Chains A and B, each alone.
Chain A
Amino acid sequence: MGNAVLEVNELTTKYITRFGENIYAVDHVSLKVEEGKSLGIAGESGCGKSTLALSLMGYYFPPLYYTSGQIIIDGQNISGMDPDEVRKAILGKEIAYIPQSAMNALNPTQRIINFIEDVIEAHKPYATKKEIYDQAKSLFEVLGLPAEVLNKYPVELSGGMKQRTVIAISVILSPQILIADEPSSALDVTSQKMVIKMLRNLMDSGLIKSMIFITHELPLLYNVTDDIMVMYAGQIVEKAGAHEMVFTPIHPYSQGLMGSIMVPESGLRDKKLTAIPGVPPNLKNPPSGCRFAERCKYVMPECRVTSIPLRDAGGGRAYRCILPKEFLMEAYERERGER
């Protein structure tokens, strides 16, 4: 067991709508990321992936609110801290974020270097402009970005370059952990590859200790992360190593997700793609039992009665279903054989 960089216990956060309704988009989520490891979070749109990313920052602004649970970064519980303290001591320095559409993540009327100055000044008020410029320049050189970028406006950069610039800015204060929310989904394949390479490079060179990677593109997770977590309707439905998750998913939802993708690996080639019928439940009033029950092909009456806890499946795996894992795994194997 390595040293946990980020540990989250039973974190629950909610959105409060204009009409005062509570929507628990992250519901009792626990996770742990060890030093040198990366965790992938998968799920379809609206399952709470991005909200989880926002919630992990420990810094909330409307309409998202903290409800309960702990976020422990490097042994320090940040969920009870004063927001201004979190802003100064945690954001960017301990935990950094790469937004979903990094394309628009930079202020269009500000040069890159001026934004970097603002970022560093927010944490180190006494840094001089010269020091900041030198620091930024050497970081950009390490990451293989041209130093001219610093004096440009975002509009003068290409999409891929903008994304890589955002990543570089995110790690400028050497955070322990980086949370990347679909950092490559808006890019073409070539730029995507460069971004992924850059993220891997950050881990390998020790600029960041660990990473959480959120995406709906499962093949990407398989290639990038050590572990994968599948979310459904604000809850974790399965946790496993990346290889196990892709080849032997347990939870019916994970099975559906994995069955709906093309992985160019031997053994999965030439398989037909299947879709999961239906849509995720409305989280304004989530079902009392299993949240996947409506779409599950193995659904039984007791599924709809009580909420299902996350069950340990051995080997560091866990899943949220009342059926035994052997049954589910066998059913998946059989189905794949038939297809």
Chain B
Amino acid sequence: MKGYRNYFANKLIWFGITLVAAFVLNFFLPRLMPGNPVAAIVARLAQGMSNTAGVQAIYEQYAKLFGTDKTMLEQFFLYVRNVFRGDFGYSFSQYPRTVADVIRASIWWTIFLQFPAIIVGWVLGNTLGAMAAYRKGGFDKVLLPVSIFVSSLPAFGMAVILLVIFGVTLKWLPTSGGYGYDLIPNLSWSFIWSVIVHYQLPFWSIVLITIGGQAIGMRSMAIYELNADYVKYSRFMGIKDGKIVRYVFRNAMLPQVTGLALAVGTMVGGALVAEIIFSYPGLGSTILTAVLGQDYPLISATTLIVTIMVLIANFVIEIIYGFLDPRIKAAQAD
């Protein structure tokens, strides 16, 4: 038990170091991009203005507001202080909205799109993979190539195919947005229905790709486990097939748990492509606009969210694994 605790203490320290390193990079990397975001904003505001001194004054005011008039190091320490106070500052590109405000408006779209899609894809994929391993024959012969095909498609490929078929050709589903452009978010039935309809294409594009990869992984793990010696021994001790299948799938599931946790951890980054293609108002689209607009505070904050989620997911995997697999728990305690 002591070894087990030490293992996690050790892991925590490493996660802490990783977090600090990522935090520093999240701050500096976007700011190393060439270009001056404040100048771009001012240029937009100053359109049609002929007073150079006035434009200069506006520029200085914004530079002061965003803190870009200070040195990079000063900015960094200010940023650290503010983050500890829970303040991520103003978004450059969407001023006067704060970063917290922008993220708050978009993160739920991402979570409600991605989380169910990953779970559904994972459950369906594992079930299909397990069935293919157990039933073999024709089912397996169809499922395996289809899964390989689907999982080899890049995420945008799947999204574009669905978009063209169901959105453009058949016109069954809307092609972009999180809800109808003519609606204002409220709790009316017409709005909720619009959200549901807009949800389908991005949702299924993620689900299908997840299914493919998970089914392949589960299939090969389950085949391996079905041929394990304990299966033969359990059979010869008269244990029912149903129970043996439960042993097998529980054990085959173990590596798949990693896949699930990582998918959940990289949810925001993974959402990027589907959200951009369907112009879904989630965090993925936000990251894209932030990067395009050189919106430093927004880039830093969104990438920090990704970092923290990945670290948490990894840590949770470690703990869950210890409970699911005594072999790993023993190795961790060593």
Which residue numbers of A lie inside 8 Å of B, CB to CB?
A: 57, 59, 61, 87-88, 90-93, 96-97, 99-110, 115, 118-119, 122-123, 153, 155-156, 166, 169-170
Q: B235-261, CB under 8 A of A: which get 1 and which 0? A: 111111001000100110010000000
For the complex of A and B, 10 pairs with smallest distance between CB atoms? A91-B238, A153-B326, A104-B229, A105-B233, A97-B236, A92-B238, A155-B327, A107-B230, A92-B237, A122-B238
In the complex the two chains form, is B230's CB within 8 Å of A105's CB? yes
Contact of B237 among A91, A102, A103 (CB under 8 A): A91
Question: Given A96-B237, A104-B228, 6 more contacts at CB 8 Å?
Answer: A91-B238, A97-B236, A104-B229, A104-B230, A122-B239, A153-B327
Describe B's contact surface by its main secondary structure: helix
CB neighbours of A119 from chain B (8 A): 237-239
The answer to whether B228 touches A93, judged by C-beta atoms less than 8 angstroms apart, is no
Q: Given A104-B230, A107-B230, A118-B243, A91 and B236 touching (CB < 8 A)?
A: yes
B232 within 8 A of partner (CB): yes
Chain A residues in 8 Å Cβ range of B254: 109
Taking a contact as CB atoms under 8 Å apart, the answer to whether B326 and A155 are in contact is: yes
- Which B residues touch A99, using CB under 8 A? 229, 232-233, 236
Tell me if B325 is interfacial: C-beta within 8 Å of chain A.
Answer: yes
In angstroms, Cα B230 to Cα A101, docked, is: 9
In the bound assembly, the distance between CA atoms of A109 and B216 in angstroms comes to 23
A110 vs B246: C-alpha distance in the bound complex, in angstroms?
Answer: 12
Contact partner, B324, options A92, A109, A122, Cβ 8 Å: A109
A87 touches B240 (CB 8 A): yes
Residues of the B chain whose Cβ atoms lie less than 8 Å from the Cβ of A104: 228-230
| Chain B interface residues (CB < 8 Å from chain A) | 228-230, 232-240, 243, 247, 250-251, 254, 324-327, 330
Inside 8 A of A122's CB, which chain B residues have their CB? 237-240, 243
Are the CB atoms of A108 and B251 closer together than 8 Å? yes
Least distance between A34 CB and chain B CB atoms (Å): 23
Q: A153 to chain B: which residues have CB within 8 Å? A: 326-327, 330
Cβ-defined contact, B251 with A87, below 8 A: no
B69 to chain A, nearest CB (A): 60
Contacts known (A87-B240, A156-B326, A156-B330); A106 close to B235, Cβ less than 8 A: no
Q: How far, in whole Å, are A106 and B228 apart by their CA atoms in the complex?
A: 9
For B232, list chain A residues within 8 Å (CB). 99, 105
Residues of A near B326 (CB, < 8 A) are 108-109, 153, 155-156
Contact B240 A105 (CB under 8 A): no
Contact call A155/B237, Cβ cutoff below 8 A: no
Residues of B within 8 A of A123 (CB): 238
Give the docked Cα–Cα distance between A277 and B40 (Å).
Answer: 86
Query: Which of the residues B233, B238, B330 comes within 8 Å of A155, measured between beta carbons?
Result: B330
Measured CB to CB, the nearest residue on chain A to B233 is: A105
29 cross-chain CB contacts under 8 A:
A61-B235, A87-B238, A88-B238, A90-B238, A91-B235, A91-B236, A91-B237, A92-B236, A92-B237, A102-B229, A104-B228, A104-B230, A105-B232, A107-B230, A107-B247, A107-B251, A108-B230, A108-B325, A109-B247, A109-B250, A109-B254, A118-B234, A119-B237, A119-B239, A122-B237, A122-B240, A122-B243, A153-B326, A153-B327
Bound CA–CA A115/B235 (angstroms): 12
